[in-house]
Amino acid sequence: MLSRIQDLFRPSPELERSSRDKLLEILVKFMISYTDLKIIPDKPETNKLNKLEIFHMYSRVIELARVLKLRTLDLLHLAYAIKFHEEGLINIFATLDKDILSKKDIIEKKLRVEIVDA
């Protein structure tokens, strides 16, 4: 998302000479500090899927795909939101994604995560 809206921000003259990647890094660091975001580590757990061992969040994504029929990265974001909700770390999933918002009722009812249009 940030890489898509980066052009809306006007950097100072000294920053204008920086690369696009550097500007994006600065913007991300600013947003983390400004919003008091927390970085939550994930454990390297696996689950069995048939005879395969796969990363535990991928198995959640596969389960969600059957119900929601969204793009893979959208499903991965939702899988983490559900996990963090179950752990009591979040109450709301804010998004601008039209596909996720179109499935808001299903997500809230079946997965018990509140979805808000940011």
- pLDDT 10s digits, 26-38: 888 888 887 877 7
Cβ atoms 75, 97 nearer than 8 A: no
What whole-number percentage of the chain has pLDDT above 70?
Answer: 91
What residues contact residue 56 under an 8 Å CB cut-off, 6+ apart? 43, 45, 46, 47
Instruction: Give the H or E element holding residue 52.
Output: strand 52-55
pLDDT in tens, 27-67: 888 888 878 777 787 888 888 888 889 898 999 999 999 99
Neighbour-count burial of 77, counting CB atoms closer than 10 A to its CB (0-12 exposed, 13-18 middle, 19+ buried) = middle
Conformational region of residue 112, where left means phi above 0, alpha means psi within -120 to 50, and beta covers everything else:
left
